[in-house]
Amino acid sequence: MHKVLALSQRLYVRIYAALLASLVALGCMFAIIHWIYDADQSRNGFDTFAEVASEVLPPPTATPQEQRRALMRWRQKVRANMALYTPAGDFIAGAGPVPPPLPPEPRSQGRVEGGHGAAVLKLQDGRWLVWQRMHARRFPVNILLTLALVACFVAIGAFPVVRRVTGRLERLQQSVENWGSGNLAARVAVEGKDEVALLASSFNASAERIEALMKAQKSLLANASHELRSPLARIRMAVELIQDQANPAISAELKQNIAELDLLIDEVLLASRLDAATPDAAARVPVDLAGIVAEESSRVGAEFDAGAITVTGDARLLRRMLRNLLENAKRYGADTPVQVNLARAKDGAVLLDVCDSGPGVPAAERERIFEPFYRLPGSSEAAGGVGLGLSLVRQIAVHHGGKVECLPADARGCCFRVTLPA
């Protein structure tokens, strides 16, 4: 059964999310590297800036007014508030509304911790120059916006490509599941010339070979079973001719063996026809299922409870399905009463139950008993049957759009439930 995947588990979503995550990680990495590189360049430029300031600013002997005018000129060029201090830390002059203060006991030049973009420079004559950006150093938002725009374009362009590739994989999966459910004629549309197309071509070739083998096997089985009818009829006639002269025990054994062989051929032929036919090919007419239940239950002495229910299908196949279930219950139910119930479920589906109180079927074997020619461990061939009865029941139920399952009874025994569509 096809399992519906959550959106987060779909292949195209995961590939697309991985692509977007890679773009975001690349943008963040680029911004961080830019930030670190810019900070490192600033540290290396402190010495150069201090040398230039020593050459440009007036000497220590100049008046505070001259010092302030020089700082004002520099303020406009570097766009920073400045303040000049003596080697002892005394204020000389400042430029800006609020000149930045000198950190307590400055020992080396560099950025001031918590100074919001402030830095201290030690001039060649021992003075201290403190400057602070008018606008705090900002994260490279423009770079991030550019990367985000590029990511959007890549995402928009990549989505159709990713979706096209994964869409082909999903169609391949649906075709494989359709083929695996029994439609051997299902094939995959070959799209493109890449690895996915090669996989689709390989699947189609394999499916075609398997379909041909299955058709040959079914044809061989059907033809062989049909051809066995003639020698079996001659053997039956010979037994009838010599039954008065043969040992009664031997004659009875021969008749039983012929009957079992005739049943085997009949069920093999029916199984072959059901394999080859499609549900649409079946005779679709109203069938009085309650009447079939009453007739077949009375024939074997089973108890039944059936309301007036009519289904659409093949009356002959539905009768064979019920008869196989009843014979199976009689054969393996240890002579316990057999109960047949026919009713409608709440959703309108038809439920047909055939239950007995025999040894039952182990839970691990309740699915395998529907396999052709499978017998429960310990079952004796003397009990009769050829191992195709329950397999035919499932084929007929599926042929009518339904299903069959083996359910445990309340105390002991088992209950076979056939569910047919409304």
Which tens digit of pLDDT belongs to each residue from 126-145?
A: 888 887 877 655 555 666 67
Strands in 308-357 per DSSP E? 310-313, 339-344, 350-355
Report pLDDT for 361: 85
pLDDT of residue 4: 47
- The answer to whether residue 416 sits within a structural domain is yes
Q: What is the pLDDT of residues 19-74, one digit of tens each?
A: 777 777 766 776 666 666 555 545 556 677 777 787 788 888 888 888 888 888 88
Residue 1: the pLDDT is 38
In this structure, the strands spanning 339-344 and 303-306 are parallel
Residue type, 323: R
Yes or no: say if 422 and 351 are a contact pair by the CB < 8 Å rule.
no
**Residue 369 is assigned to a structural domain of this protein:** yes
pLDDT at residue 365 tops 70: yes
pLDDT at residue 288 tops 70: yes
Encode 366-390: b = buried (16+ Cβ within 10 Å), e = exposed. beebbeeeebeeeeeeeeebbbbbb
Q: Which carries the bigger pLDDT value, residue 103 or residue 304?
A: 304
Q: Is the domain of 352 the same as that of 382?
A: yes
208 vs 228 pLDDT, higher one:
208
- Give residue 97's pLDDT: 79
Q: Average pLDDT, whole number, for the chain?
A: 77
Residue type, 344: R
**Which pLDDT score, from 0 to 100, does residue 3 have?**
46
pLDDT digits (tens, 9 = 90+) for 313-329: 888 889 889 988 998 88
Count other C-beta atoms under 10 Å from residue 123's C-beta: 19
Q: Are residues 294 and 322 in the same domain?
A: yes
Q: Identify whether residues 303 and 353 lie together within a single domain.
A: yes
Q: Provide the domain limits for residue 338.
A: 281-420
Q: Assess if residue 84 is contained within a domain.
A: no
Question: Which pLDDT score, from 0 to 100, does residue 115 have?
Answer: 54
Question: How many angstroms from the chain centroid is the CA of residue 121?
Answer: 65
Same domain, 290 and 378: yes
Is 403 within a domain? yes
Say yes or no: 286 and 405 in one domain.
Answer: yes
Which of 255, 276, 297 is the last residue before a domain boundary?
A: 276
pLDDT at 394 over 80: yes
> Does 374 map to a domain?
yes
> Do 397 and 292 fall into the same domain?
yes
Q: What is the pLDDT of residues 219-269, one digit of tens each?
A: 766 666 666 667 777 777 777 777 667 677 777 777 777 776 776 777 766
Q: Record the pTM.
A: 0.49
Give how many domains the chain has, as a whole number.
2
Which helix (H) or strand (E) is 271 found in, with range?
A: helix 248-276
pLDDT tens profile 89-99: 888 888 887 77
pLDDT at residue 56, rounded to an integer: 80
Judge whether 4 and 173 are in contact, CB under 8 Å: no
Query: Is 286 in the same domain as 387?
Result: yes
CATH label of the domain that carries residue 382:
3.30.565.10
Burial 47-81 (b: 16+ CB within 10 A, else e): eebbeebbeebbeeeeeeeebbebbeebbeeeebb
Which range among 4-13, 18-27, 67-76, 199-208 shows the weakest confidence by mean pLDDT? Answer: 4-13
Same domain, 253 and 311: no
Number of H helices, E strands in the chain: 9, 12
Q: Is residue 240 part of a domain?
A: yes
Provide, rounded to the nearest whole percent, the portion of the chain with pLDDT above 70. Answer: 72
- Where is the domain boundary, 276, 305, 331? 276
Closest CA to 340 of 410, 331, 349, 329: 329
- Residues 272 and 285 occupy one common structural domain: no
* Mean pLDDT within 160-173: 76
Q: Are residues 258 and 347 in the same domain?
A: no
395 and 293 part of one domain:
yes
- The answer to whether position 202 is within a domain reads no
